[in-house]
Amino acid sequence: MLSDIHGPDDLRRLSPPELDRLCGEIRSFLVQSVTRTGGHLGPNLGVVELTLALHRVFDSPRDGILWDTGHQAYVHKLLTGRQDFSRLRKSGGLSGYPSREESPHDLIENSHASTALSYADGLARAYQLRGVTDRRVVAVVGDGALTGGMAWEALNNIASAQDRPVVIVINDNGRSYARTIGGLARHLDRLRTSRGYEDFLRWGKHLLGETPVVGRPVYDLLHSAKRGLRDLVMPEGMFVDLGLKYLGPVDGHDIAAMESALTAARDFGGPVVVHCVTRKGRGYRPAEDDERDCFHGIGVIDPETGRGVPGDSRPSWTSVFADEMARVGAERADVVAITAAMLHPVGLQPFADAHPDRVFDVGIAEQHAVTCAAGLAAGGLHPVVAVYATFLNRAFDQVLLDVALHRAGVTFVLDRAGVTGDDGPSHNGMWDMSVLGVVPGLRIAAPRDGTRLRAELGEALAVSDAPTVLRYPKGPVPEDTPAVARVGGVDLLTPVDPLDPGNDVLLVSVGAMAQICLETARRLADRGVRTTVVDPRWVKPIDPALLDLAGRHALVAVVEDNVRHGGIGAALSQAVQDEGLPVPCRTFGIPSTFLDVGSRSQILSRLGLTAEALADELGRLVLRPLTAS
């Protein structure tokens, strides 16, 4: 049946038994497809019936359906004509998130959480101002997105106009990556388990009877206390008191019940919350049995067993950090950890297992995480804030004014820094060094291998009067690259004499670009170009030893997997200019653009960040023959 679904209109002719059959086909398709490519399996298995109901009740794309977060939109893609998942999250294939380039059914490219309600508020305001009354705005909010403060800022505004319709569908599976934490999670738990006010009244009516002498007066008394009772036995009072009509809880796996609730919400004419309860990973036993994250995001696995297939056996950058944090935690009682709903993905689970009272998962709330860390530092602790590099962008103001201005000793560990590729343009961690480079007093370390990661984490934790940053990419950690010498705080990676005034190129390798830079130097040596490869280790601030080295070369070249604008190359070039050094500087990095989906190696190749391309360009710049000797 799935192959006959070309758009939402095809769904409306299906009978209930046919819909049930289609749900089974969709789940089978997702398991067979996503286990081959990797992607977000668990969240999408949980929204099959919900998505079918949405597309049967609302008229997409005329009615805008906004997904928050977008990783739960795979079923939406299937029902809107996109059923080739063979290259999901790969170059030339489907994005793992809604994509405006793929379909008019995708209004926003929403891959970061807690934003859809703000989009929805703005869209509804625009319709109202333009006099548009026949289009609906629906925001599907799930996987912990309501733990983000921006969602509540939007709710506050959505509730301010009772004549401006917005349908808010809460996909409540009790999870983000792992179980959702905090007061909101407890509130939704109460909603799931509450029998509701009407059930309470029915219970009282049954217990007390209906005779005027005994039961009825008591029943009337209960009814007269409706407001207080509602607050007591109907936890949805929080939404109602905001001015939001509340419907639910609804079984999110019952299509008929979902359609009934969504139809009522569509026709209400004001802001409505539809609270549906779903199960993440539904219909796939390995996901249902996975208490950690219900197969939230997977690599390539065996669809029958749910186990990973043999792949790269090297440890990942994340696992090296995880081991080192656990070791440091045993030695230093003042070290605590904070993350934003990503305890396992950023490698904090071993630390949490050993020190459960010293790790804080604040939900999808990066701004709060950063300022909370400043408070922890003020209280005499050294917090480590571990997030993906792309997500720290959301908390820049807090890093600048709440941490750096207060000279707080907070260490930020940025996983997935630089080019990540397969999660699309929003998840590349390619802005962090440019964004953080303007923060006074902040120091940035970029380790080139696992040994340097361990050492630089220790150096960061030794700083108590300023923020420090440790950033590293996604994927397996490379073999260690020992330094042949150290000048100041700068590691020399090649044995070229730095005091020889005849050296041609000073090649500055930033973090994980070391292997590419060393291969570039070997290729340049074949062409007669003498190259000194260095790793600054701490790329901010600029080490004075690096400036001294720059002055002894004919050309300085910086290779970084960060945007060129405002990056390390730009900072070094400015420092060279400020010192009055006559040496030209060239930066090889990422242009200020959003990158298409692809593997890390594919994207680096497109950008010319390969040894072959770098050697060709540097050879040309120093006017040496380009043929091998």
Closest by CA to 457, choosing from 543, 386, 381, is 386
The DSSP letter of residue 584 is: -
Tokens of residue 61, six digits: 């794309």
Q: Is the peptide bond before 541 cis (omega within 30 degrees of 0)?
A: yes
Residue 560 annotated as part of some ligand binding site:
no
In angstroms, the CA 287 to CA 616 distance is 49
In angstroms, the CA 297 to CA 290 distance is 12
Neighbours of 12 (CB within 10 A): 10
The DSSP letter of residue 39 is: B
Residue 40 annotated as part of some ligand binding site:
no
In angstroms, the CA 43 to CA 294 distance is 8
For the chain, give the longest Cα–Cα distance: 109
Q: Is 280 a catalytic residue?
A: yes
The DSSP letter of residue 362 is: -
In angstroms, the CA 449 to CA 169 distance is 45
Closest by CA to 392, choosing from 477, 470, 476, 293, is 470
Write the CB contacts of 601 (distance below 8 Å, at least 6 apart in sequence). none
Residue 479 annotated as part of some ligand binding site:
no
Residue 608 annotated as part of some ligand binding site:
no
Tokens of residue 263, six digits: 């139809």
Contact in structure between 68 and 117 (CB atoms under 8 Å): yes
Q: Is 56 a catalytic residue?
A: no
Residue 55 annotated as part of some ligand binding site:
no
Active-site residue, selected from the candidate residues 394, 448, 474, 564: 394
Question: What is the full DSSP assignment across 215-279?
Answer: HHHHHHHHHHTHHHHHHHH-TTHHHHHHT-EEEEEEETT-HHHHHHHHHHHHHH-S-EEEEEE--
Where does residue 626 rank: exposed (0-12), middle (13-18), buried (19+ CB within 10 A)?
Answer: exposed
Q: Is 332 a catalytic residue?
A: no
The DSSP letter of residue 14 is: -
Tokens of residue 620, six digits: 């040309």
Residue 173 annotated as part of some ligand binding site:
yes
Neighbours of 517 (CB within 10 A): 27
Q: Which helix (H) or strand (E) segment is 420 a member of?
A: none
Question: What is the full DSSP assignment across 279-337?
Answer: -TTTT-HHHHT-TTTTTSSB-SB-TTT-PBPS---SPBHHHHHHHHHHHHHHH-TTEEE
* Helix, strand and coil in the chain, % to nearest 5: 45, 15, 40
Write the CB contacts of 553 (distance below 8 Å, at least 6 apart in sequence). 503, 504, 505, 506, 532, 583
The DSSP letter of residue 521 is: H
Active-site residue, selected from the candidate residues 280, 282, 471, 564: 280
Question: What is the full DSSP assignment across 342-357?
Answer: -TTTTT-HHHHHH-GG
Neighbours of 468 (CB within 10 A): 26
Residue 144 annotated as part of some ligand binding site:
yes
Please state the separation of Cα 192 from the chain's center in Å. 27
Write the CB contacts of 227 (distance below 8 Å, at least 6 apart in sequence). none
Active-site residue, selected from the candidate residues 324, 366, 456, 560: 366
Write the CB contacts of 240 (distance below 8 Å, at least 6 apart in sequence). 230, 246
Closest by CA to 52, choosing from 8, 99, 105, 102, is 8
Residue 143 annotated as part of some ligand binding site:
yes
In angstroms, the CA 191 to CA 312 distance is 44
Please give the annotated binding residues for thiamine diphosphate, written as ranges: 71, 111-113, 144-145, 173, 284, 366
Please give the annotated binding residues, written as ranges: 71, 111-113, 143-145, 173, 284, 366
Please give the annotated binding residues for Mg(2+), written as ranges: 143, 173
Annotated catalytic residues are 280, 366, 394
